[in-house]
A and B are shown apart, each in its own frame.
Chain A
Amino acid sequence: MKILELDIKNIRGIKTFHHVLEGKNIVVFGPNGTGKSAIVDAVDFLLSGDISRLSGKGSGCLHLGEHGCHVDSRDNLKDTVVSAKVEVDGKEIRIERSINKPSSLKVTPKGDEALVESYLSVAELGQHVLSRREIVKYITAEGSERAKDIQNLLDLNEIEKLRETLVSIKNSAGNDFKHKESSFEVAKKNVANLLSLPDVTAQSCLLKVNDLRLILKGTPLVEMDVKKFKEGLAVNFTGITGAALTKAQIENNIKDVKAFLEKAVEFEKKEAELKSLLDEVMKDAELRQYSTYKKLFEAGISLAGDSSICPLCGREWEDGDFKAYLEGRQKETEMGKDKQDKIDDASGHIKIQVELLKNNVNNLVKASEQLKTEAISAEELKSYLELLDSWSAAMLKPLELYEQKKFPASVLKDVFKRKILYDKLVVPVEEALKKAGEKPSKELDAWDTLTKLEINWKAFVDACKNMDLAELFKKRADACLDYFEKARNSVLEGIYDEVKSRFDKYYKAIHEDDEKGFASKFSHVGPALNLEVDFYGRGMFPPHALHSEGHQDSMGLCLFFALNEYLTKDLIKVIILDDVVMSIDRNHRKSVCSLLKNFFPNKQFIITTHDTAWANQLKSEGVVSSKHMIHFLNWNIDVGPTYRLEQDLWQKIKEDLDTDDVPSAAHNLRRNAECFFEDICDLLNAKVPYKGTHQWDLGDFASSATTAYKDYIKGAKINFNKLSQADKVKELTELEANASKVIEKSKVEQWAINESVHYNAWTELGKKDFEPVVAAFKDLFALFSCSSCGQTIQITSSKGAPPKKVVSCSCGKIYWNI
């Protein structure tokens, strides 16, 4: 999509603006505050429905509706319109957008909406506008900040949000599994205690159930089916609910608590082991973030390939050492994984034991109530259960809590406190049980056990199923995050490789003279994107570390182009460069012009600048033609900018002379001639006499330019003579004779000797006197331009054997090998 005509009404500082662009590049130039940026905003708005300047950083209180229109049009938004005739796929259509309805694009003729839809969805990325402050955003930003900006461009915010969601799901699934695992162990222990079994299996439980059924004169079952436990029993005690604990259950719980007390030292060792692992991991970031480091070393191995140069710091290693080093470090990350796995095991073990103990404590409290004996006080029990809960919860995320210094202040020794467990629970319950005497009858006890088993077995089976499901959930959540990060990394690495290769190519095109061996390095660790660049072969550094501001501007421009090409896939031809080369020197700006012309011949650049020299350079280098140079002269709030098209100089002077305004014609000629010859001196490497005041004038430039011109013709003639190219020699001889006449006529050389005369004299001349001066200068200007392509001639040097110097135009009609 290219813009053929542009109309702006009541947008930002503009009241009305019209220009026929013809799909060509335009330059909008003029002093600050004349409304140039409003052109950028208007085109930005037309293409994207937004004005990026009003939505970027630091623009919190700015809104399109209130600040996108001309300040006097806030109450009449219907009259704030940008419209353009555009060319899409060879078809001319008109598009129009109003701040009144920014999301609605009017397309004429109707029915062509689909034609522009895909273009405008790309434009919404905003990757068609580069402003000065955006360069800073690309180049000087920290890795994580740059990543945020590039994430915006690549539309990666939703990807990062989804990744965070998957991380959260993974953590929940891990915790859920730990919960379900300990619930399963508790349910299993309850069955084991009820049936007085050392371990719970379907077979061992079935044997026990059949023993109990035998007591109650029932036939044996073939499988553990809760519904059949009490089916077909000859003896039954319907009405007994099984709510109270059996004697065996109480005895088994007492046995368990005693066993816990005996194993207290073992738990203390486990706690010490866990804390030592946590200390180790906390001290070493590499162990703590082993998975990130692992990815870093893996990326290093794949990037280094067979090279022995580190892609991060640029250090050169002895052959083979580098890869071996990275492989060694990669293996070391396994140690981090091993340590974190051990932490998981130890904390998981402690959690299960704490939950089992809590279950025993609750059962003994229930037993004491059932046996009507006084045991632990309610207050003490509450605080003890809170202690157990705090340990159980801490074991879900021990590393996180340890890092935040929120790990339980107590020690496991407090959890296995003899004073509470033995003195206040085991002893009173045990004594009360002895006093209670024998169980009522074997049959009643069997009935009671089966009744309880109905509940406990169902709970055990459910817990088993829940644990299996939780394990599946955990495995899927782990895999889901892993696959998602792998997918993201793989796609991003592909994109960054592509962008890097384009970035290097463009930067080298601008800085071929001083940074031939330039290379960049794009790497991303997690979501952060790091950009490093070579600094004269001395290693890789952040782009704003050692390079000059001008070089940083070039980098920003090149990174923008590299991203633009990737993101717009060449669909959006319009690229807006808003005051972006300010720190780049004149020589490298020339290379920027070549970059625009040679690498992006099919793009349409809209360039704004307050630097007239840069605007003129864009013209002299052929990036933009005179008729698309829009000069913004002034601005006021009622009429907006005053601008004029850069007229042809000779036409402008003719108009002045037609109205007898010789002083204006003289001023125009002098000012333009001075700029023109300054450019020519630059293009021809002419020797301009040095002045301590740094104030050169037309006399200096014109004299030096014509001297260089004549010297080059002489040099070229000698060369063509050597090559026996008589026709060329003849052509140059004629050109030389003509040049002498033209130079003589313009009396350039005399002016250089007595500059005060020509400056003062011009303004006193009449129209008839001045016309020959104009004619002489027109001929003089023509000497330096090609009659075919209109381009000014320039000298280029190429190194080689032998080195070559050529004066030429861009079409090649002028080609003097000197």
Chain B
Amino acid sequence: MTQKSVPDLIYDKFAEFVGRDSLFSGISEGLLKQVRAKKKSEKEISNLLSKGKDEDSGT
């Protein structure tokens, strides 16, 4: 009965790409959470992307 919306399909595909790239290890979960959030924050996404590899991802 429930169907995925087009944005959800796009987010899923995006998650696939991000999950495969080690560049995003440690921050992928937080990034996807932000991307899927109803209210998306440029600041939050920027903070996540600029985190160092050994920093806590905050998720």
Contact = CB atoms under 8 A, between A and B. Distances in A.
B24 A476 contact: yes
A490 B50 CA distance: 27
A491 B2 contact: no
Interface in A149-181: 154-156, 158-159, 161-162, 165-166, 168-169, 172-173, 176
Contact of A488 (B1, B10, B21, B24): B10
Interface in B14-28: 14, 16-18, 21, 23-24, 27
B56 interface: no
B3 A477 contact: no
A304 to B, nearest CB: 24
B46 interface: yes
A500 to B, nearest CB: 16
A487 B17 contact: yes
A63 interface: no
B5 interface: yes
Contacts of A470: 50
A479 B17 CA distance: 9
A226 interface: no
Nearest to A488: B10
B54 to A, nearest CB: 11
A480 interface: yes
B10 A476 contact: no
A118 B1 CA distance: 7
A569 interface: yes
B40 A159 contact: no
B18 A483 contact: yes
Nearest to B45: A169
B28 to A, nearest CB: 10
A483 B17 contact: yes
A813 interface: no
Contacts of B21: 479, 483
B9 to A, nearest CB: 5
Interface string A108-125: 000000000010001000
Given A476-B23, A476-B24, A487-B14, A169 B6 contact: no
Interface string B32-59: 0001000010100110011011000000
B50 A473 contact: yes
A698 B15 CA distance: 69
A54 B42 CA distance: 33
Contact of A169 (B5, B13, B23, B42): B42
Contacts of A169: 42, 45-46, 49
B13 A155 contact: no
A473 B49 contact: yes
A337 B34 CA distance: 31
A484 interface: yes
Q: For this complex, into which size category does the number of interface residues on chain A fall? A: 35 or more
A491 B15 CA distance: 13
A486 interface: yes
Interface string A455-487: 000000000000001101101110110011011
A263 B56 CA distance: 46
A488 B16 CA distance: 12
Which residue, B14, B16, B17, B21, has most C-beta atoms of chain A within 10 A? B14
Interface in A80-104: none
B6 A469 contact: no
Interface string A493-510: 001000000000000000
B42 A158 contact: no
Interface string A272-309: 00000000000000000000000000000000000000
Nearest to A165: B42
Which residue, A159, A475, A491, has most C-beta atoms of chain B within 10 A? A491
Interface residues of B, number: 28
Contacts, number: 80
Given A475-B23, A476-B23, A486-B17, A162 B53 contact: no
Given A162-B40, A475-B23, A480 B9 contact: no
A487 B23 contact: no
Contact of A472 (B2, B42, B53): B53
Contacts of A122: 3
A155 B18 CA distance: 23
A487 B10 contact: yes
Nearest to A154: B6
Nearest to A176: B50
A155 B46 contact: no
Contacts of A490: 13
A480 B45 CA distance: 10
A491 B9 CA distance: 7
B14 A173 contact: no
A487 B13 contact: yes
Nearest to B46: A169
Interface in A375-404: none
A441 B46 CA distance: 51
Contacts of B46: 169, 172-173, 473
A803 B2 CA distance: 49
A165 B49 CA distance: 13
Nearest to B15: A487
A491 B13 contact: yes
A495 B10 CA distance: 11
A155 B5 contact: yes
A173 B50 contact: yes
Which residue, A159, A169, A487, A571, has most C-beta atoms of chain B within 10 A? A487
A640 B1 CA distance: 39
Interface string A548-580: 000000000000000000000101000000000
Interface of A: 118, 122, 154-156, 158-159, 161-162, 165-166, 168-169, 172-173, 176, 469-470, 472-473, 475-477, 479-480, 483-484, 486-488, 490-492, 495, 569, 571
28 contacts: A118-B1, A154-B6, A155-B7, A158-B40, A159-B7, A162-B40, A169-B45, A169-B46, A169-B49, A173-B50, A176-B50, A472-B23, A476-B23, A476-B24, A476-B50, A477-B49, A479-B23, A480-B31, A483-B14, A483-B17, A484-B10, A486-B13, A487-B10, A487-B13, A487-B17, A488-B10, A495-B6, A569-B3
Interface of B: 1-3, 5-7, 9-11, 13-14, 16-18, 21, 23-24, 27, 31, 35, 40, 42, 45-46, 49-50, 52-53
Given A487-B10, A487-B14, 9 more contacts: A154-B6, A165-B42, A169-B45, A473-B49, A476-B23, A476-B50, A480-B49, A484-B14, A490-B13
The 3 closest A-B pairs by CB, nearest first: A487-B13, A483-B17, A473-B50
